[in-house]
Amino acid sequence: MKYSDERREAILKKLLPPHNRTVAEVAQEEGISAATLYTWHKKARQAGRLLPDQSDDPEGWSSQDKFHAVLETAALSEAERAEYCRQRGLYPEQIQRWRASCEGANDRSDAASKQVSYRSGRP
């Protein structure tokens, strides 16, 4: 069966905060196979959409999902960021902490590279 983009979007939203429904629940409710929902979810993520793997707690999101949230909110005003967070069940403080972690990741990587170079005698 062919579903419209709007219908797919409405169904995928049920998997996100504040609803946080499981794929099994939504599949049964909508009369769609779980495999179809997983496929839609995967395609949306591949297209760059922030659709975290099932986790009630955003702190359980993957590093990639946290990074995408940081990117999506980077240019938003404080009010826009607050709205973004409300829609996704996040706190602005989480975004700030994830951003700091992302920014610090390169520092740790650079320090590790310098340490390896120092041990091998390379500049």
Pick the CATH number of 1-51 from 1.10.600, 1.10.3470, 1.10.3210, 1.10.10: 1.10.10
Q: Rounded to two decimals, what is the model's pTM?
A: 0.54
Per-residue DSSP letters for the chain?
Answer: ----HHHHHHHHHTTSTTT---HHHHHHHHT--HHHHHHHHHHHHHTT---PPS-SSGGGS-HHHHHHHHHHHTT--HHHHHHHHHHHT--HHHHHHHHHHHHHHHHHHHHHHHHHHHHHT--
Q: Provide the residue ranges of all domains of the chain, joining segments of one domain with +.
A: 1-51, 53-123
Tokens at 94, concatenated = 């989480």
Q: What is the pLDDT of residues 18-60, one digit of tens each?
A: 777 888 899 999 999 999 998 988 888 777 776 666 555 677 7
